[in-house]
Amino acid sequence: MIVIRDLHKKFGRLKVLNGLNLTLEQGKISAIIGPNGSGKTTLIKCLLGLVKADQGSITVSGQSLNGDWAYKKMIGYMPQWAHFPENLTAREIISMIKDLRNGEKNWDEELYHSFNLGREAHKKIRTLSGGTKQKVGAYLAFLFHPQILVLDEPTAGLDPMASSLLKDKIMKEKAAGKTVIITSHIMSELQEMAEQIIFLLDGEVKFQGSVQNMMADNKAEKLERAVAAMMGRYSS
């Protein structure tokens, strides 16, 4: 479980997170949504330890972040666009990441095989398509059996088959008790997978609840329409 309390963050005079409170439960898929500039990226960076909050606390499985790096071993992160050293092959990058974990051997190779990455692994990263780079990023996020998965636009750039394979993997990990956090602009995807929706606006949580409740509250049959209604309501 991830518990966030009274989180504040400013960049200069720009207030990005404004006393944010949030609980992300184990064994559930939580989707963080909101318009550009709502604080989604900063919240994720705080969770990953890439940005230090000005005020407030984040605890992961009861462990306070507070500058400690050890909790990061519990997190698998898939950025929207992974940036790898372009002069290395995919195989060399995978080997390097494995070496950085001090010889751990308990690897999750499922996506490597289902994506058929072995066919592309000998190629330099700079020669790979955007979709194949996404596949490499997805594989690395799941590689060490993390208890928490943070997936930023995970299906962006993937073809329909790869997207389906990845969504199946996400649901499998959720069923195994993993905590999954997804950001995505594809509302149909979130409606399909997410159990909890967190709607951010101006660095505050404006809604936290089930997909069904969000649609019911906004008298919408689709999540996309519900989100649009909320955005329109708060901007008026």
Q: Number of folded domains in the chain?
A: 1
β-strand pairing of 63-64 with 204-209:
unpaired
Cβ neighbors of 78 (< 8 A, separation 6 or more) are 137, 138, 140, 141, 149, 150, 151, 152, 154
Q: What percent of the chain has pLDDT over 90?
A: 76
The strand order across the sheet containing 75-78 reads 75-78, 148-152, 179-183, 29-33, 196-201, 204-209
Q: What is the CATH number for 10?
A: 3.40.50.300
pLDDT per residue as tens digits for the range 42-77: 999 999 989 999 999 999 888 887 767 778 888 999
- CA gap 201, 169 in Å, rounded: 30
Picking from 100-104, 176-180, 196-200, 213-217, which range would have the lowest pLDDT averaged per residue?
100-104
Q: Copy the structure tokens of residue 176.
A: 């195994």
- CA gap 165, 57 in Å, rounded: 35
Task: Note if the pTM is more than 0.85.
Answer: yes
* pLDDT given for residue 103 in this prediction: 67
Q: Token match 């069904």: residue?
A: 212
* pLDDT given for residue 210 in this prediction: 93
Q: Token match 């479980």: residue?
A: 1
Q: What are phi and psi of 225, to 5 degrees?
A: -70, -35
Q: Copy the structure tokens of residue 102.
A: 């001090």
Q: Which of 202, 230, 195 is nearest to 31 (CA)?
A: 195
- CA gap 56, 20 in Å, rounded: 8
**Torsional sign, CA 188, 189, 193, 195:** negative
pLDDT per residue as tens digits for the range 18-34: 999 999 988 999 999 99
User: Between vectors from CA 42 to CA 37 and to CA 43, what angle results, nearest 5°?
Assistant: 110
Name the residue range of residue 143's domain.
2-235
* pLDDT given for residue 109 in this prediction: 95
Average pLDDT, the chain: 91
In the chain, which ranges are continuous DSSP H helix?
40-48, 90-100, 110-114, 130-142, 160-175, 187-193, 211-217, 223-235
Given pLDDT bands bounded at 50, 70 and 90, which one contains residue 176?
very high
- Residue 110 exposure: Cα atoms within 13 Å on the Cβ side: 14
- CA gap 199, 186 in Å, rounded: 14
CB atoms within 10 A of CB 167: 16
